[in-house]
Amino acid sequence: MAQYSDVLDGVFIALADPTRRAVVRRLGHGPASVGDLARETPMTLPSFMKHVRMLESNGLIRTAKSGRVRTCELNRERFALIEDWLADQRRIWTDRTDRLERFVTTPEEEQ
């Protein structure tokens, strides 16, 4: 997973903002136009587009333009990368807590 460090850093930075998390949550229900997504926020369209660009540049969403409408959709492969990283972290911490439990519950004479 070390080779994914820079990618994961960008993904977590992108997800650190509540507006971008709201966009990701909304796109979890299906594709939406930038205009529709922007209407759900209290900011101007140019400000909102900065959030869209951040999500897109970190691979969390894809956009496609058809005429004057830009549509966004989740890039589910990127979320699989996050899921893999989280699974690795879960294994590491489960192993550590299991060792700690054995240490705490094993009588001193058996150690």
pLDDT at 57: 96
Q: Which domain holds residue 23?
A: 2-110
Instruction: List CB contacts of 26: < 8 A, sequence separation 6 or more.
Output: 32, 37, 40
Query: How many structural domains comprise the chain?
Result: 1
Average confidence score pLDDT of the chain: 89
Q: What is the pLDDT of residue 110?
A: 67
Q: Which helix (H) or strand (E) holds 73?
A: strand 69-74
Query: Does position 3 have pLDDT exceeding 70, yes or no?
Result: no
Judge contact between 52 and 64, C-beta under 8 A.
no
Q: 33 exposed, middle or buried (CB, 10 Å; 0-12, 13-18, 19+)? A: middle
Q: Give this prediction's pTM.
A: 0.77
Residue 81: other Cβ atoms inside 10 A: 16
Query: How many CA within 13 A on the CB side of residue 56?
Result: 14
Summarize pLDDT for 44-87 with one digit per residue, the tens. Answer: 999 999 999 999 999 999 999 999 999 999 999 998 888 888 89
CATH at 44:
1.10.10.10
Average pLDDT for residues 28-47, to the nearest whole number?
A: 95
